[in-house]
């Protein structure tokens, strides 16, 4: 299983773009990268998934360099409601073991 490393916490202000980077040096050739968001007292929810280059949806963008040893989740113009914990997973969520790390706690200030 590919181990991931993320910053423990980040602070931002409303309206700013936030980039959260995840390192996964031993990612396997067929591994996807998936990001989840968790609000207090709720279960995590899927944000975005990618394999290479760039993926964008209505919530976020995911940038993956050619070597795929890291990935960056980009949240455009964050608001207070984006305060949450963000988890990076490598290896897909249908695998035999879906392991979550500690995640990155994002605090968005007014």
Partner 1 sequence: NAGVTQTPKFRILKIGQSMTLQCTQDMNHNYMYWYRQDPGMGLKLIYYSVGAGITDKGEVPNGYNVSRSTTEDFPLRLELAAPSQTSVYFCASSLPGQGPNTEAFFGQGTRLTVV
Residue 8 interacting with partner 1 (CB under 8 A) = no
Residue in 5, 7, 99, 107 binding partner 1, rule: CB under 8 A: 99
Calpha distance 109→87 (Å, rounded): 20
- Strands in 70-75's sheet, in edge-to-edge order, are 18-23, 70-75, 61-64, 53-56
Residue 97 interacting with partner 1 (CB under 8 A) = yes
Other CB atoms closer than 10 Å to residue 4's CB: what's the count? 24
Calpha distance 79→104 (Å, rounded): 17
Nearer residue to partner 1 within complex by CB, 82 or 87: 87
Calpha distance 12→107 (Å, rounded): 6
Would you give the binding string for partner 1 spanning residues 24-63, x where CB under 8 A is met? ------xxx-x-x----xxxxxx--x-x------------
> Contacts with partner 1: how many residues (CB under 8 A)?
28
Residue 87 interacting with partner 1 (CB under 8 A) = yes
Which residues would be at the binding site for partner 1 (CB under 8 A)?
30-32, 34, 36, 41-46, 49, 51, 85, 87, 91-103
């Amino acid at each position: 299983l590919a181990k991931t490393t993320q910053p423990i916490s980040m602070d931002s202000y409303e309206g700013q773009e936030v980039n959260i980077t995840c390192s996964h040096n031993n990612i396997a050739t067929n591994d996807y990268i998936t990001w989840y968001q968790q609000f207090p007292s709720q279960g995590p929810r899927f944000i975005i998934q990618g394999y290479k280059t760039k993926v964008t949806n209505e919530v976020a963008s995911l940038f993956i360099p050619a070597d795929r040893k890291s990935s960056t989740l980009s949240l455009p113009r964050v608001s207070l409601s984006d305060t949450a914990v963000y988890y990076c997973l490598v290896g897909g969520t249908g695998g035999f073991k879906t392991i979550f790390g500690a995640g990155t706690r994002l605090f968005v200030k007014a």
